[in-house]
Amino acid sequence: MKRVVITGFGAITPIGNTATEYLSGLQNGVSGAGAITQFDAEKFKTRFACEIKDFNPLDHFDRKEIRKMDRFTVVSMVSADEAIKMAGIDQTDNLNLERVGVIYASGIGGLTTLQADIIDFAKGSGVPRFNPFMIPKMICDITPGQISMKYGYRGINYSTVSACASSNHAIMNAYDYIRLGRNDIIVTGGAESTIVETAMGGFSSMKALSTRNDDPKTASRPFDGERDGFVLGEGAGTIVLESLEHAQKRGATIYGEIVGVAATADAYHITAPHPEGLGVIAVMNAALEEAGLNKEDVDYINVHGTSTPLGDIAEVKAIQAVFGDHAYDLNISSTKSMTGHLLGGAGAVEGIAGILAINHNFIPPTINHFVDDPELDAKLNFTFNEAQERKVDVVLSNTFGFGGHNASIIFKRFE
């Protein structure tokens, strides 16, 4: 099996529109939440979200290109461009393009486009005159297609869809293709941009969203005793994975390595986690086994940690079951406290947080902690409110999705 390393990454998030800005947001514990600007949310139970700030697609694409892409694809392409340039694979003269692929995720895809076209149809005369770009803008798999067309990559190309575990599954698949020798480089990650009436209304009806409209910046409160739901976010994260042999041959900078991945199912409920975290226990144990690591080797867990009452407790129970006494020595944090929940893009953006932690020796905080939850062990280090300096060699990143999907990835300092 080939070793798989990270040679580039890019991010566009509610707390920074580049990987560098994202790093600053993580280090300073910035909240990305605020009043919704993308539609009039006055009549909704939740009127805030974690939107991307100061972003103009026209800074990156011309109007003709933008008309052919949903917002989730636009942000994907921007983060991919950053990652590809960092990795130095935007210049393709010395690459075998048939061995450079793209596996890119979205949990929902072009919901903005789908909603707009249905509303336009409903308001019209009943004659079915839909936008000719509606289908290619809407489908989840259009992003890897767009990236491959822009750069000429002709290797493996598809999307993964598994709700909020989608981009972790994309990264895992990319890892497997490279270590099996089927591709040399794969651009991977995920994106979501669904801050529209349909998503806000749907998640609200499930009582999944925080309704802290009087104080949105502190609404995402993972592990806090008064948490009341997650905050919807948008953005994208892209990671360039490459075989070690190929990266070294072309003199690429290496930012880390993936050493273990795993995926399981809860087989329990369509939306609720297993109360004892059985699937989560299994997925973390399997990732550690594949990596050949002991539980004591893990320094930091970037948890799923959505700020929902049941989910946070189940994940912590699983961590304690897997790590035992070492659970008190490692750091735990939820970067969703800052970015909100990026759904299908969460795993990629949070994986980049782990890569940044390794390269800058710090633990991103879980902000917005005010009240201890009596059901959570107060001796655990949740990295509340402020980032902590720490040498970070191994990061475990968890994502879980509706349907009972669990996915864990282990990032390691490259040696």
pLDDT at residue 176 greater than cutoff 80:
yes
Residue 126: is its pLDDT beyond 80?
no
CA distances to 68, 69, 115 from 63, in Å:
9, 10, 21
Q: Is residue 127 pLDDT above 80, yes or no?
A: no
Q: What's the mean per-residue pLDDT of the chain?
A: 96
CA distance 333 to 199: 26
State how far the Cα of 206 lies from the Cα of 174, in Å rounded to an integer. 33
* Average pLDDT of span 359-382: 97
- Give the whole-number percent of the chain exceeding pLDDT 70: 100
Of 50, 140, 164, 405, catalytic? 164
Looking at residue 288, its pLDDT comes to 98
Q: Give me the pLDDT at residue 130, please.
A: 87
Q: Which of 169, 274, 304, 405 is catalytic?
A: 304
Contact 75, 131 (CB under 8 A): no
Tens digit of each residue's pLDDT (9 = 90 or more) over 29-81: 999 999 999 999 999 999 999 999 999 999 999 999 999 999 999 999 999 99
> What number of other Cβ atoms are within 10 A of residue 54's Cβ?
6
Catalytic residue among 169, 246, 274, 341: 341
Check: CB of residue 13 under 8 Å from CB of residue 238: no
| Average confidence (pLDDT) over 249-255 | 97
For 184-234, the pLDDT digits (tens) are: 999 999 999 999 999 999 999 999 999 999 999 999 999 999 999 999 999
Confidence of residue 393 (pLDDT cuts 50, 70, 90): very high
Cα angle 395-399-400, degrees, rounded to a multiple of 5: 150
Q: Where are the domains of the chain?
A: 4-249, 261-412
**Whats the size of the chain, residue-wise?**
415
Given a cut of 90, whether residue 161 has pLDDT beyond it is: yes
Residue 294 has pLDDT above 90, yes or no: yes
- Determine the pLDDT at residue 121: 87
What pLDDT does residue 62 have? 94
Judge contact between 349 and 237, C-beta under 8 A.
yes
CA–CA dist 247, 313 (Å, integer): 41
CATH 1.10.645.10 is the classification of domain 4-249:
no
Spatial separation of the C-alpha atoms in residues 181 and 163, rounded to whole Å: 28
Residue 275 confidence (pLDDT): 87
Structure tokens belonging to residue 259: 């050493």
- pLDDT above 90 covers a percentage of the chain that reads 95
CATH class assigned to 261-412: alpha beta
164 is catalytic: yes
The predicted-structure confidence for 345-368, as pLDDT tens digits, reads as follows 999 999 999 999 999 999 999 999
Number of other residues whose CB lies within 10 A of the CB of residue 350? 29
Torsion sign over Cα 88, 91, 92, 95: negative
Catalytic-residue membership of 169? no
Q: What average pLDDT does this structure show over 116-134?
A: 85
- Residue 163: what pLDDT? 97
Measured CA to CA, the distance from residue 215 to residue 48 in angstroms comes to 9
Based on C-alpha coordinates, what's the Rg of the chain?
Answer: 20
Split at pLDDT 50, 70, 90, the class of 122 is confident
